[in-house]
Amino acid sequence: MKSIFNYIIYKYAATIFLTGLLLVFIGCDLDETQEVTTLDNLVWSDEFDVDGAPNSQNWNYDIGDGTAENIPGWGNNELQYYTDRPENAVVENGVLLITARQESFENRNYTSARLTTEGLLEQQYGRFEARIRLPYGQGYWPAFWLLGVPETIMVDGEEVLEEWPAVGEIDIMEYLGDEPTNVFGTLHGPGFSGAESISKEFTLENDRFDTGFHVFGIEWSPTSVNFYVDGNIYQTLTREDIAEETDGEGEWVFDRPFYILLNVAVGGNLPGNPTSETVFPQSMIVDYVRVYN
């Protein structure tokens, strides 16, 4: 199992490729003929109804700045140190607060939190949905996303764990704090990761994502992934789309269990660093996370 470390690197390096610097977004194009959701059997949820630390039966923490994984800044020049302190992740008044702070901590100038359901909730296919209010300002980079659970494979006669992007990644919602009307959804896999990932942007009309709650979700089947915001599907990706977008080089790797991640990154290659105008602290406020099949 020599590649556990490598997997960890790749898991966090996924942040590098989560969006990448060269992503080319396709414009928002709603298809009103599509049925938004078909799966209504709730199999897991966190409604964040109990004040205090996030429920440890639902959530783990990723801790640090990536140095322990040999990717300082999580491989993306991010500025935050992730902690499990209540200052960075806490449930209050019926919501989860993931708060980015400007403070000196463990040789970093910002702190935040990254929660995952790895080892706790891992599901193949289904509907994953969260109701979230986002922060505002240059340098904020919150996300609601999924990573595939690696399988053990044989390489040169030795058992190893699969690495990213072989495990796949589904970015249900990413957002840059200085673009408060836009979010985007993305798939990553072999042949279409990082700068070559397949992504599409959704633009909110006459509203902003930092001034109210919005519902971000996917409905994922053996043949497709639908991305939606507030009941509007803005992107559907199929096996055929992957093949077409990658000239046949891309591999559909979304037939395995995935787990959930919620985080607020600060700075880095994609959003750029905060400026003197960026207000700290601010939180990604999560009303609920629900999973259906």
> Model confidence over 84-139: pLDDT tens digits?
999 999 999 999 999 999 999 999 999 999 999 999 999 999 999 999 999 999 99
* 39 belongs to a structural domain: no
Contacts of 248 (CB under 8 A, 6+ apart): none
* In-domain check, residue 13: no
Per-residue model confidence (pLDDT) at position 17? 42
In a domain, 38, yes or no: no
**Mean pLDDT value across residues 239-250:** 94
CATH code for the domain of 163: 2.60.120.200
Alpha helices, DSSP H only, in the chain? 4-19, 239-245
Q: Provide the residue count of the chain.
A: 293
Contact 165, 193 (CB under 8 A): yes
The whole domain housing 60 covers 44-292
Q: What is the pLDDT of residues 173-229, one digit of tens each?
A: 999 999 999 999 999 999 999 889 999 999 999 999 999 999 999 999 999 999 999
Coil/strand/helix, residue 230: coil
In a domain, residue 31? The reply is no
> Could you give the CA distance from residue 242 to residue 265 in angstroms, rounded to a whole number?
28
277 or 69: whose pLDDT is higher? 277
Confidence of residue 24 (pLDDT cuts 50, 70, 90): very low
The answer as to whether 115 is a domain residue is yes
The one catalytic residue in 129, 162, 174, 196 is 174
Q: Is 130 domain-assigned?
A: yes
Number of domain units in the chain: 1
In degrees to the nearest 10, what's the CA dihedral of 250, 293, 49, 264? 0
Specify the higher pLDDT residue, 97 or 30. Answer: 97
- Which entry of 69, 78, 169, 201 is annotated as an active-site residue? 169
87 is catalytic: no
Decide if 7 is inside a domain. no
pLDDT digits (tens, 9 = 90+) for 88-99: 999 999 999 999
198 located within any domain: yes
User: Nearest Cα to 280, choosing from 135, 105, 113?
Assistant: 135
Distance CA 118, CA 3 (A): 17
Cα–Cα separations (whole angstroms), residue 62 to 10, 89, 115: 14, 12, 6
Span 145-164, average pLDDT: 92
pLDDT digit string (tens) for 3-18? 333 333 334 444 444 4
Look over the chain and give the mean of its residue pLDDT values, rounded to a whole number: 90
Q: What is the number of alpha carbons within 13 Å of residue 168 lying toward its C-beta?
A: 22
pLDDT band at 278 (very low <50, low <70, confident <90, very high): very high
pLDDT at 35 over 90: no
The secondary element (H helix, E strand) that includes residue 8 is helix 4-19
